[in-house]
């Protein structure tokens, strides 16, 4: 079922699913951080090694912004090249495996790309605002890219040595990676030594 944005615009099902996935992540993250005070939000199970809740969200804001620059440019190139939508996002076996590798719970620990390493501490309101702003940009891209063939439109993955990926895959990568780090943030709150409220 397609989601109607206004009487003239309908969001295709595949892109509506991306938007719903991002909305779900936002709800989960908000429910997690709302009751946390500053000490809890910034508490690290292992200082300088294991991230805090704040660092998980800051990392997502940073990496989403980095990814979005590549995705937005790819959509514009595809639009100029006349790569009109031919059908829904197609995820082959290899791309599904790649997306799964980034989802929660983590199956493989990966080092953070230097540009995406989070700050050591973060103010809750500012960190949340940066995270939501990055999520809103992903949603905006999903809502405006319905005219483009997201299987033929390619971006150079900034975190995979510039290997070209379909834009549709990139949207799913963001949602999966979001879930991974919100899951990680939730685990921080369950660790021994987590500050009491």
More confident residue, 5 or 170: 170
- Alpha helices of the chain — where are they, by DSSP H? 13-33, 38-42, 53-80, 93-102, 124-144, 167-188
pTM of the model: 0.92
Indicate whether 111 pLDDT > 90: no
Distances (CA, A) of 134 to 58, 60, 85, 180: 10, 8, 25, 16
Q: How confident is the model at residue 9 (pLDDT cuts 50, 70, 90)?
A: low
Positive or negative, the CA dihedral 90, 1, 15, 31 is negative
> In angstroms, rounded to a whole number, what is the distance separating the alpha carbons of residues 43 and 137?
28
More confident residue, 6 or 60: 60
| Farthest CA pair distance, the chain | 56
Distances (CA, A) of 97 to 91, 100, 143, 172, 177: 9, 5, 25, 12, 13
Mean pLDDT of 180-192: 97
The pLDDT of residue 155 is 95
46-59 pLDDT, tens digit per residue, is: 988 899 999 999 99
Q: Which CATH class is domain 7-188?
A: mainly alpha
Mean pLDDT of 15-27: 98
Burial of 192: CB neighbours in 10 Å, binned 0-12, 13-18, 19+: exposed
The pLDDT of residue 77 is 97
Domains of the chain, residue spans: 7-188
């Amino acid at each position: 079922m397609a989601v109607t944005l206004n009487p003239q615009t309908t969001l295709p099902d595949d892109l509506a699913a991306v938007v719903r996935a991002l909305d779900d992540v936002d709800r989960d993250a908000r429910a997690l951080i709302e009751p946390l005070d500053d000490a809890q939000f910034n508490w690290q199970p292992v200082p300088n090694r294991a991230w805090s809740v704040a660092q998980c969200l800051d990392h997502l804001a940073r990496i989403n912004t980095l990814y979005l620059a590549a995705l937005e440019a790819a959509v514009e190139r595809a639009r100029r090249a006349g790569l009109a939508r031919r059908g829904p996002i197609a995820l082959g076996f290899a791309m599904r495996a790649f997306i799964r590798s980034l989802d929660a719970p983590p199956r493989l620990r990966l080092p953070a790309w230097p540009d995406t390493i989070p700050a050591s501490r973060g103010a809750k309101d500012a960190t949340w605002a940066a995270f939501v702003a990055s999520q809103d940009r992903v949603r905006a891209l999903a809502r405006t890219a319905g005219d483009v063939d997201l299987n033929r439109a390619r971006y150079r993955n900034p975190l995979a040595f510039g290997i070209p990926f379909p834009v549709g895959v990139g949207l799913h990568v963001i949602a999966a990676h979001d879930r991974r780090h919100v899951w990680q943030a939730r685990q921080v709150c369950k660790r021994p030594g987590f500050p009491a409220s």
